[in-house]
Amino acid sequence: MSEKTEIVRAKKVARQWFLKRAKAEFRVHAYSMAQCKVRNLPSLLRAFRDGKVVLAGVDPISDLGIKVKAMDSVEFWSSDEEGLKKLQGWLEKRGLETSGIW
């Protein structure tokens, strides 16, 4: 078997593996944390993801990712679009500005 056919075969296998596991991911930025009623938002979101905290009206999001972008901004993402919409609404009710889901 030539080296080129091995490379082509490896690329096909990698592509199939990737397509089976890839899924859409949605992101939201939350701003103005200093002016909101929620304290320590990143910790709250991590506890929510881990099931230690329940947020009223928001279903648990097990694959929620959280990243502090700046002193006044947090980015979070998930493959659960509906869950993120509910979480975004919950945050906006508490005075945070959000970027919308993208």
Which pLDDT belongs to residue 70?
A: 77
Which pLDDT belongs to residue 34?
A: 66
Name beta bridge partners: 26.
Answer: 78
Rounded-to-integer distance, Cα 86 and Cα 74, Å: 17
State mean pLDDT over 40-61: 90
Give the residue with greater pLDDT, 36 vs 65: 65
Domain locations in the chain as residue ranges: 24-98
Rounded-to-integer distance, Cα 38 and Cα 35, Å: 9
Compute the mean pLDDT over every residue in the chain, rounded to the nearest whole number.
87
Query: Are 78 and 60 contacting, i.e. CB atoms less than 8 angstroms apart?
Result: no
Tens of pLDDT, residue by residue over 75-95, are 999 999 999 999 999 988 888
Tens of pLDDT, residue by residue over 18-41, are 888 888 889 999 887 666 667 788
With residue 66 as reference, give the H or E element that holds it: strand 65-70
* pLDDT band at residue 1 using 50, 70 and 90 as cut-offs: low
With residue 45 as reference, give the H or E element that holds it: helix 41-49
Which pLDDT belongs to residue 75?
A: 92
Has this prediction a pTM greater than 0.85? no
Q: What is the DSSP letter of 96?
A: -
